[in-house]
Amino acid sequence: MFGFLLRLAQTDDSARLEQALAWLYGFIRPHRLGIAALLGLSMCATLLVLAQPMLTKLLIDKGLLAGNYPVLVATAATMVCAGMVGNVLGGANRYLHTRLSGRILFSLRSALYAHLQKLSPAFYGRRRIGDLLSRLDGDVAEIQRFALDSLFSAVSSLIGLAGAVVLLLSLSWKLSLLIVVLIPFEFFWLRWMRQKVERDARSLRQSSADLSCFLVETLPAMKFIQSAGQQGAEQRRLDQLGDGYMQRLLKLQLTEFFTQSVPGTLTSVSRAGAFLVGGYWVIHGEWQLGSLIAFSTYMGMAVGPVKSLLGLYVAIQRVTVSLGRVIELQREPLTVRQPRHPVQPPLAGCDLRLEDVWFAHAERNDWVLRGITATIPAGAKVAISGASGTGKSTLVDLLLRFYDPPQGRVLFGGTDLRDLDLYALRRRIAVVSQEIILFRGSLAANIAYGAPQSSRETIARIASMAGLDGLIESMPDGLDSEVGERGQQLSGGQKQRVAIARALLQDASILVLDESTSALDEATERKLIAEVDRLFASRTRILISHRASTLARADLHLTLADGMLRPHRQEHAQNA
């Protein structure tokens, strides 16, 4: 079926489409038995529908016109039974189809999301979140509808069309030639309209992505928009985007209308011609009335599948756009991979060493880090200072293996990070950054985010160690209280303590505070740093900040400047 659709689409890049369809088939293949069952139900239902005109012919020619009442009663009863069985088959078909369709949809979305989870921060720096949401939601749903809904419709249509054509030929092969004459005209028309449908569908998907990007960008910033008095300007932006979307939507609908209406009109003309010729035969006694009615009915039944197949042709052009947008994400290369034979990182008590580490971001031409060599002893408190943009956060990203240095290596316990189990390594390193990430949910769920298997008693004990007792007592449901989206119901200091509790519960070997106290006053900061020193006394602590007070009482103070990591000058002078 996919090969047939590929030949039907005949896109300019058929090789890429073939690969995309092969990727899509990978999600359909596990459901082969369910699809086969649905096809069987569809075939039975289609055969029952095809039997109705023949029963009508029998009822008219052998019952009414022949004056045979028993045949009339038997045929009518058969028609009622066939209708009841058809209704049962239709209900079962819809139920199974909905279940199978949902499974494929969420499998597609889950696979794409899993791939996005493996991509580096640089990827998200280049992409608009609204565009990613549009692809995960709209494009994946479009692919799912094509993968199951359109294909099932196509199979049912092909079965119905084949059955209708066979029965038309059995009734009159001469009249059936009227259908054959239309095929070349419809084929060339569809070929001519293909690029127009694909172009308009691509434009519509991009417009949808623009709308999603606008909402993702402005809704979290509503407080700032209100304070700047720019509600009207943002409303006008939304209206302009909405108008553009509607224009593209209407243009696509017009294109699809003309794509399908011309073949549909030709089919109606052929059906009218069949009535004229067949009616002439009936009037002159060369054909039976029941045969004419059955032939006309089968022509109508053939028109439905033809229209469905025309709609499938349009769907192919639309799904080609969505497949391209999704496959573009799926093919985004991974800059960091899990090693083939991963080594479990040590639990604690291991030095961290950088050996001749060079690094430059792909979008920049200059080196951020230039041959850094340094050793951070196990359990030490290390301060790293430096101006903005010198690469301090890049060092943290290298520790977490969001990137790998193109030259040099980072060792943990004497083992290259590239040889360690990626996911276990990241669990060994807890990072508390300036922007604390909290999710909608309870306080307990946010504390236990990095260790969701933790018991209730352990979460409560860790929360108390992080100084959250006062917060828990003040909230209506204690640990079960909701913190709001992005933790909006908590203050900056409370968020910091939640992050510290999360790091404690994660039981990490290394704690990194990356500008995490910049929003706090110095008194609160000193108290928080003291608690960190107490709670993480036996673990490696890396403090990154501009503030001298944050970096005080460190065992080792390093400065990052011009891509080099050197001992702090004051410390160097004291040692001299």
Maximum distance among all Cα pairs of the chain, rounded to whole angstroms: 122
Q: Which two tokens stand for residue 450?
A: 């990095």
Beta partners for residue 359, in sequence order: 369
**Is the pLDDT reported for residue 571 higher than 80?**
no
Q: Report pLDDT for 393.
A: 85
The residue among 261, 269, 272 whose CA lies nearest residue 190 is 261
Contacts of 167 (CB under 8 A, 6+ apart): 50, 53, 54, 294, 298
The dihedral sign for the CA sequence 531, 375, 403, 127:
positive
Q: What is the pLDDT of residues 555-565, one digit of tens each?
A: 888 888 888 88
Is the pLDDT higher at 300 or at 499?
499
3-state secondary structure of 354: strand
Residue-range domain boundaries for the chain: 14-227+235-330, 352-575
Q: Which two tokens stand for residue 387?
A: 């101006």
In the 8-state DSSP scheme, what is residue 417?
Answer: G
pLDDT tens digits, one per residue of 212-257? 888 877 877 776 687 777 888 888 888 888 888 888 888 888 887 8
Q: Say if domain 352-575 classifies as CATH 3.40.50.300.
A: yes
Q: How far is CA 261 from CA 7, 189, 251, in A?
A: 23, 11, 15
- Cα three-residue angle 537-538-540, rounded to 5 degrees: 90
C-alpha 528: how far from chain center: 40
Q: Of 161, 173, 184, whose CA–CA distance to 299 is shortest?
A: 161
pLDDT average, residue stretch 361-386: 86
> Considering the domain 14-227+235-330 in this protein, what is its CATH number?
1.20.1560.10
CATH topology agreement for domains 14-227+235-330 and 352-575: no
Inform me whether the pLDDT recorded for 409 exceeds 90.
Answer: yes
Question: Would the pLDDT of 418 be above 90?
Answer: yes
Flag whether pLDDT at 9 surpasses 60: no
Which stretches within 331-421 are classed as H helix?
392-399
Among the ranges given (165-174, 427-436, 495-504), the one the predictor scored with the smallest mean pLDDT: 165-174
Query: What does the alpha-carbon distance between residue 541 and residue 513 come to, in Å, rounded to a whole number?
Result: 8
pLDDT for 487-530, tens place per residue? 788 887 788 888 888 888 887 888 898 877 666 667 777 777 88
- The vertex-240 CA angle with 234 and 241, nearest 5°, equals 90
How does pLDDT run across 35-60, given as a tens digit for each residue?
888 888 877 887 787 777 778 777 77
The reported pLDDT for the residue numbered 520 is: 65
* Amino acid (1-letter code) at residue 191: R
Per-residue pLDDT tens for 257-288?
877 777 767 767 777 777 777 787 878 777 77
Q: How many CA atoms lie within 13 A of 172 on its CB side?
A: 25
Listed in order, strand segments (DSSP E) in 302-386 are 352-359, 369-376, 381-385
Residue 569 binned pLDDT confidence (cut-offs 50, 70, 90): low
Q: How close are the terminal C-alpha atoms of the chain, in Å?
A: 78
- Give CA–CA dist 249/255, Å, rounded: 10
Share of the chain above pLDDT 90, in %: 5
288: how many CB neighbours lie within 10 A of its CB?
Answer: 17
Report the range of poorest mean pLDDT among 12-26, 68-82, 352-366, 456-470.
12-26
Q: Evaluate if residue 2 carries a pLDDT over 50.
A: no
Q: How confident is the model at residue 12 (pLDDT cuts 50, 70, 90)?
A: very low
